[in-house]
A and B are shown apart, each in its own frame.
Chain A
Amino acid sequence: MNRLLNVPVAAVRAFSSSSRNLKNKVPEAQKLFQEDNGLPVHIKGGTSDVLLYRATMLLTAAGTCYSLYWLLVASMPNKKE
């Protein structure tokens, strides 16, 4: 990877446009996700993880309530609207 950083021109020339040579960020990710901070994997990535988790749980809770609402509506066939 260091060689690639030193010779960016050669890296661009040696590869076709179909294989954009992205820098290898796996070692950084390994360091982040192996940090001994006690966080579970689903929020260990940072703030965006937490936001996405909260949005998902919000939809889960709201959706459950919504399905119970429709269950009540469907259980009363004589109800006129």
Chain B
Amino acid sequence: MAHQAHAYHMVDPSPWPLTGAVSALLMTSGLAIWMHFHSTTLMSLGLVLLLLTMYQWWRDIIREGTFQGHHTPPVQKGLRYGMILFITSEVFFFLGFFWAFYHSSLAPTPELGGCWPPTGITTLNPFEVPLLNTAVLLASGVTVTWAHHSIMEGQRKQALQSLALTILLGFYFTALQAMEYYEAPFTIADGVYGSTFFVATGFHGLHVIIGSTFLTVCLLRQMLHHFTSEHHFGFEAAAWYWHFVDVVWLFLYISIYWWGS
């Protein structure tokens, strides 16, 4: 281990970038084959390969950081920059969908009746389930901060409980939103209202599921004693991502659910 005279991490050669690239090829070409030839085998193969890649790649990062000690302060700084840049790219991703929503809703075309919400659309009451969803995510922001402070103070039991509660709140949001989707009086095919609503909230829901998964991995790692009170960047990254998901929801709620109703 002590063969380097610098604090940086020269990673071992890894096969996962290749398997990840191939899985992207299989998923995209598989999507085209599904559409034209009604076969889902190629795409499914790509998905399985993606899951295998993610599992092994992130398992290796945990080994490099927690078991091999490669995540020195300069390396951790790089990881922090990386996570911040990734979240920033996701902000731009959502910005596009908000742009689409405001483009259509600020100047509604005659085909929609010249009004927003468009003629014939029964919107959801923003003060019913959507408001509950807002409370659930805001509460989860509190519990994840509680978890962070517990980890920093070495309070193992509290860290596990608050992190578990955060994840449960995430599942509760997902369940409520799934129910809303099922009961909604409009569909994705209902003009530009349906498109903007379901694409924006749908991608948000996907990010809630990703965030919940990330937090669950952190819960498992906390159970396995991976985090110390000084060094727990994996958890911090998950918490940053979770706060980002919460903020996106607040913008969705105010723009689409409230102003747009």
**A interface residues, Cβ below 8 angstroms from B:** 15-16, 18-20, 22, 24-26, 29-30, 32-34, 36, 40-42, 44-45, 52-53, 55-57, 59-60, 62-64, 66-67, 70-71, 73-74
B14 touches A42 (CB 8 A): yes
A29 touches B45 (CB 8 A): no
Cα distance A19–B178 when bound, in Å?
30
A59 touches B48 (CB 8 A): yes
A22 touches B42 (CB 8 A): no
Interface 0/1 of B141-170, CB less than 8 Å to A: 000000000000000110011001000000
B164 touches A18 (CB 8 A): yes
Q: Name the residue among B11, B156, B224 with the largest chain A CB count within 10 angstroms.
A: B224
Smallest CB gap from A14: residue in B: B157
A53 touches B56 (CB 8 A): yes
Which residues of B are found within 8 Å of A63, using beta-carbon distances? 22-23, 25-26, 42, 45-46, 49
A34 touches B56 (CB 8 A): no
Which residues of B are found within 8 Å of A57, using beta-carbon distances? 15, 19
B49 touches A41 (CB 8 A): no
Cα distance A15–B7 when bound, in Å?
39
Give how many B residues have a beta carbon under 8 Å from the other chain's beta carbons.
Answer: 44
The residues in B between 46 and 102 inclusive whose CB is less than 8 angstroms from any CB of A are 46, 48-49, 52-53, 56, 60, 63-64, 66-69
Which residues of A are found within 8 Å of B13, using beta-carbon distances? 40
Known: A66-B42, A67-B29. A74 touches B67 (CB 8 A): no
Known: A29-B66, A34-B1, A57-B19. A22 touches B56 (CB 8 A): no
Cα distance A13–B3 when bound, in Å?
46
From B30, B64, B67, A32 is in contact (CB under 8 Å) with B67
Contacts A24-B224, A60-B19 known; list 14 others, CB within 8 Å. A18-B164, A30-B66, A33-B68, A40-B14, A42-B60, A56-B49, A56-B53, A57-B15, A59-B45, A63-B22, A63-B49, A64-B22, A64-B25, A67-B26
Which residues of A are found within 8 Å of B160, using beta-carbon distances? 18-19
Smallest CB gap from A45: residue in B: B63
B52 touches A56 (CB 8 A): yes
Name which of B33-41, B115-123, B193-201, B245-253 contacts chain A. B33-41
Cα distance A26–B53 when bound, in Å?
24
Known: A32-B67, A45-B63. A71 touches B12 (CB 8 A): no
Which residues of A are found within 8 Å of B15, using beta-carbon distances? 42, 53, 56-57
Which residues of B are found within 8 Å of A20, using beta-carbon distances? 223
Which residues of A are found within 8 Å of B156, using beta-carbon distances? 19
Cα distance A34–B64 when bound, in Å?
10
A44 touches B63 (CB 8 A): yes
From A15, A16, A22, A62, B224 is in contact (CB under 8 Å) with A22
Interface 0/1 of B16-28, CB less than 8 Å to A: 1011001101100
